[in-house]
Chain A
Amino acid sequence: MAPHDKLTTAFPRTLPAERSAPLLEVENLDVFYGANRVVTDVGFALGRGKSLALIGESGSGKSTIARTVLRLLPGSARASGRVSFDGQEILDLPERRFRPLRGRAIGFVPQDPGNALNPVRTIGAQALEAAALADAREPRTARGLILETFAQVGLDNPQRVFDSYPHQLSGGMLQRVLIGLAVLPRPLLLVADEPTSALDVTIQKRILDLLSRLQHDLDISLLLITHDLAIAAERADSIVVLKDGAVQEAGSTAAVFASPTSLYAKKLHADVPALNPHRYAALRDPGVRRLAEIGQAPKITVSNVTKTFEVDGKELTAVNDVSFSVASGTTHALVGESGSGKTTTIRLLLGLEQPERGTITVAGETITGRTRRSMQAAWRHLQLVYQNPFTSLDPSWTVERLVREPLDRFGIGTKVERADWVRAALVDVGLGAHLVGRRPQALSGGQRQRVAIARALVLRPDVIVLDEPTSALDVSVQADIVAVLLELQAKLGLTYVFVSHDLALVRQLAHTVSVMRHGRIVEHGTVAEIFENPREPYTVALLQSIPSGAAAQIRTRQPRPAVPVAALGQEQIA
């Protein structure tokens, strides 16, 4: 690889490589935010050129540990213990002495590429700062180096990227820019904090491939922060599983992944949809039987629907001649990446937009061509559960009022009846009666989403549209919500339209699938057909992007030299 060779010769590593000693060692690390202890007695070691994944759910302290290593903790945080990097204690190092390490020796790839570059400065201006770390201060050398790096990370038109502002590039391109800027000064360690969680699956895979390749080519150690066990298993040599700020289990990826010993790691393993495609087979069965029934009219029929928007004076066909039907009591999944038209499709289905062409019927009633007023009647049978339970519930309302609102709105039942129905809906979604007086603030993410489901359920609709209902939630919470949804379907015979970009999740709970791309349905079929026998290359690409921990399984077969992870006496803290 020519650009890489040039990079190496132009900026040779100056630091002595004591290859045997770990590059990064963390021992007895405690981090406090005020009086709150968020990290407890954490220890691990990362060898040179190796990769280590810190894995855990929100609140597990994984990002805090990453920020401690980078010394980017907010002022209110206090860290104690030992963090040694390349033989140097960095926790007590004065800021003045640590700053030269930043960027130069320790690179950082952040979580959300859309927010990681200064929006009012060009990418070139920010890239020059990174080039200055590589001692390329002369503008022409620096520019050349940046353009080479951009090409190296797979950006098509480096010059144009250099001149662009961040908002002019897509998320995938921005993450490539950020990775390029992080590796440009040839650091010894790259800290990547959920580098792909804000990206589409196919892009996620490409970015992870890029990170792995650079790590290997440039001999960089990688500290990968992730919530996804499957990603960790594919990309890291060793894994540290965290919960509530403490290490639950640590070891080589092969060991942790193949035979987890701690309860938490086992549960985590069981909750990752990609690793357990048939977990809910029993709950899905009623739907499978319904699907097989012949001669039954479908609950939802969407035929030849087209919707066009005008964007910047150009016509954009968001939904192009889309047709599908959903049998009563089954789940139909709309799968696609951002911009594929799945959100517009459900907006049309809900009657929030009117299509230019085509018709949609739900439970025998035509949705298309209705006035706002006559939509009211249809909405009783057609409810939506929104993506993000952290923003979809009015924070000043109590749970009781939130769930009762649809009844009030439609004027259904007496006061006593309404109270009964609200309680029944809460029981259905598994929320205790003691929560009725709470406000969303006092609920967890999973509880909030249950409230949102109860709210949809209280009208006893036939159809519930689920717009990425678990994408804002942790995997273990996601598993709970999926179980609730499937139980409700089995019990009440609900029909779901499930929108998701997560194919593994779709496989767990859907009966039929439409794969969307650029506003069209490229492939349609039952879950078995799509997942076991995909016909379209795009579907195949999507399926291959699902992280499955495949690499970890290969690793188990060819044992590697001892991975320098010291568990450091971390037993289970239950």
Chain B
Amino acid sequence: MNSAYLTYAGKRLAQAAVVILLAYVFTFVVVSILPGDPITSVLRNPQNGFSEEEIAQIVAAQGLDRPVLEQLWSSLANFLTGDLGLSMRSHRPVTTMIAEVLPSTLILATSALVLALLLAVVVAYGTQVLPKRYGQGLLRAFPALFLSVPNFVIGLVLIHLFGFQLGLFRVINPDSAWATFFAAVTLAIPISAQIAEVLIASLDHEAGQDYIAVARGRGLRPLRLFTRHLLKPSSLPVVTVIALTVGELLGGSLITETVFGRTGIGSLVQRSVSTQDLPVLQAVVSLAAVVFVLANLVADLVYPLLDPRVKLLGARLPHARASNPAGATAP
């Protein structure tokens, strides 16, 4: 790890922090200027049956009677200390509510990402080594096919096949290992299709490069050629795609959790939207922003480690050009 990289990483971290703060402010502003003020739409809604006294209490507790700018300021200050306020419905700290459901979603999303990567790499490997006539066509159709099937359809088919027909898991026990696995598969398939699409295109490009022919000429076995030579340069664009699909992972988990009846961030969002629980919504949107920014931050930090040709902004190349007995340098 050299100083150029550390400088670069420091800059990226600072940028990420700024983006997260801006995202928080933006969400706050959007929620504030949305038509309908929370007091009338939620609290005075006769269905909810709050008494005037209770309303006054909630308004005071949430600080809804203060000017918007002041609200933003205190909410931002609280956000920075990790205090996300109280839910309007349950009056419990939003942080606690998120902490309850986050692990379940994290498990689902992480296993889905791992599955998606494995599946994409296997499919992509197949397109490179299988004979053209047989397996390749099918494998190359994989991304297009699974990108076009909606997430919930895959989920329903899997529940029907493995839950009802084969009885691998009980549909009413959503936290069993099998149920989690199939939920993760549901979430993974469209994402792996995206990754596979980019990876296959990238592999096709790299496989046509001279250095692959030269490495083959060195007598490498196909699997070694793939793992040692093809995979790393081809995975460069994939890093970017993965960072982008993390957002999709969040959106997808909302649907998947609903289909499989799991509790998680998705079900929390669903509840908060239907009850217009603004502090919870604000918190979840900010969380999504944080996850998205972090994913891109990781991609930015990983990229220079994977590709030595990347020049870090404002940083000198780590190696000076070696002395040059053969004459000219490349232009």
Contacts and interface: CB of A to CB of B under 8 A. Distances in A.
A binds B: yes
Interface of A: 67, 70, 72, 75, 99-104, 106-108, 110-112, 114-121, 126, 129-130, 133, 154-157, 160-161, 164-165, 167-173, 175-176, 178, 181, 200, 202-203, 206-207, 312-313, 337-340, 343
B326 A337 contact: no
A108 B217 contact: yes
B218 A114 contact: no
Interface string B125-150: 00000001000000000000000000
Interface in B73-105: none
Contacts of A100: 219
A200 B324 CA distance: 13
A171 B331 CA distance: 10
Given A72-B217, A121-B229, A203 B328 contact: yes
B210 A167 contact: no
Given A121-B232, A168-B319, A115 B210 contact: yes
A104 B328 contact: no
A206 B328 CA distance: 13
A168 B308 CA distance: 10
A161 B214 contact: no
Interface string B295-331: 0000000000011110000001101011111111111
A120 B214 contact: no
Given A75-B132, A118-B233, A203-B327, A167 B309 contact: yes
Nearest to A107: B217
Interface string B200-240: 00000000011101111111110000001100110010000
A100 B221 CA distance: 10
B331 A338 contact: yes
Interface residues of B, number: 36
Given A118-B233, A133-B219, A169-B322, A200 B328 contact: yes
A112 B213 CA distance: 12
Contacts of B308: 119-120, 165, 167
Nearest to B314: A313
A173 B210 contact: no
A130 B218 contact: yes
Given A99-B219, A130-B218, A167-B309, A337 B328 contact: yes
Contacts of B324: 170, 172-173
30 contacts: A70-B217, A72-B216, A99-B219, A102-B217, A102-B218, A102-B219, A103-B217, A107-B217, A111-B210, A114-B330, A116-B211, A119-B211, A120-B307, A133-B218, A133-B219, A154-B325, A156-B322, A167-B308, A167-B309, A168-B322, A170-B328, A170-B329, A172-B326, A173-B324, A173-B325, A200-B327, A203-B328, A312-B316, A338-B328, A339-B331
B316 A118 contact: no
Contacts of B317: 168, 312
A170 B327 contact: yes
